[in-house]
Copies of this chain bind each other. A is one copy, B any other.
Amino acid sequence: MRHLMSPLDFSVEELDTLLDLAQDIEAHPEKYAHACEGKKLATLFYEPSTRTRLSHEAAMLNLGGSIMGFSSADSSSAAKGESVSDTIRTISCYADICAMRHPKEGAPMVACQHSSIPVINAGDGGHQHPTQTLTDLLTIRNLKGRLGNMTIGLCGDLKFGRTVHSLINALVRYDGIRFILISPEELRLPEYIRHDVLDRNNIPYEEVVRLEDAMPDLDILYMTRVQKERFFNEEDYVRMKDFYILDRAKMKLAPEDMYVLHPLPRVNEIAVEVDDDPRAAYFRQVQYGVYVRMALILTLLDIHVD
């Protein structure tokens, strides 16, 4: 049985197959409308995340399956001191597949070791959020027609940003990838990723402080939020915050075929005026997130549709 713990669980070839399936689902949704009939997805959300939960649920419902679960730890047996391994053994009797979100790193890994149903890691603390990465990959591939040979700007909090780290790890497996890392000094990509992932894979990258400086070179701009409290001091924050807000003026500097992604929710790091730009792809990304999760559920349940 297979689980999804990290985006790297899939080889590049397996990932290609998964993304092909997602693309076929997008093109022919009706073919898949009954693929999971009689199957149940349990969403085990030990911390709330409406977007991620509903995306999994929409995926399962689109496949004709059913959904059940809980949306916060208060309403779960965790409050009574039950271990994750006991919970998953119980859930294995109720559902055919589950998606687990947990504040503690590694909890989904513990779960999958005791589970008799496939477990999807739907986010574990600051550690992994693999279905977001699958979503990002499908979005990039669908928009640009490829996953290699491109320059990707990663903007915002590169120090703590789980989605950014995960995306880097996934993209370095493709040829011709180049990164522009756009962040304040305080929030630079950690040394262990620059060294162990980028340098070791001979991935070219550049670090810049201002978003404007990166725009002209990009194929993809991946935006994330910069939280005020991450800055060393108020003065730095005031001086720099506008560097990381994408607006119409900055969009003018970018190529015609560059696309903007964002894992959402956004707060103010992308001005609302950008939403109408055809290159703003963050809401299409949400839709791709449903398709890729449909493909994932089918893959983990080993269900094939002709």
| Residues of A in contact with B (beta carbons under 8 Å apart) | 33, 38, 40, 42, 45, 48-51, 54-55, 57-58, 61-62, 64, 66-72, 74-77, 79-82, 85-87, 89-91, 93-95, 264-267, 272, 283, 286-287, 289-290
Contact = CB atoms under 8 A, between A and B. Distances in A.
Given A71-B70, A74-B72, A77-B265, A89 B286 contact: yes
A265 B81 contact: yes
Contacts of A45: 75
B267 A90 contact: no
A45 B71 CA distance: 14
Contacts of A70: 50, 54, 71
Contacts of A95: 58
A42 B290 CA distance: 15
Given A33-B38, A50-B75, A86-B265, 10 more contacts: A49-B77, A57-B94, A58-B94, A72-B74, A77-B265, A82-B264, A85-B272, A93-B283, A93-B290, A94-B290
A72 B50 CA distance: 11
A7 B180 CA distance: 53
Number of copies: 3
Nearest to A71: B75
A287 B89 CA distance: 10
Contact of A77 (B33, B51, B68, B289): B51
B61 A76 contact: no
Nearest to A89: B283
A276 to B, nearest CB: 11
A246 to B, nearest CB: 15
Given A48-B74, A50-B76, A90 B283 contact: yes
B79 A48 contact: yes
Contact of A54 (B86, B91, B286, B287): B91
A241 to B, nearest CB: 15
Given A89-B283, A265-B86, A68 B74 contact: no
Contacts of A80: 265, 267
B89 A68 contact: no
Nearest to A82: B265
A71 to B, nearest CB: 4
Contacts of A67: 66, 68
A66 B61 contact: yes
A125 B50 CA distance: 22
7 contacts: A42-B54, A45-B75, A54-B68, A54-B91, A55-B94, A58-B94, A89-B283
A74 B71 CA distance: 10
A48 B61 contact: no
B68 A58 contact: yes
Nearest to A48: B75
A305 to B, nearest CB: 16
A77 B47 CA distance: 12
A89 to B, nearest CB: 5
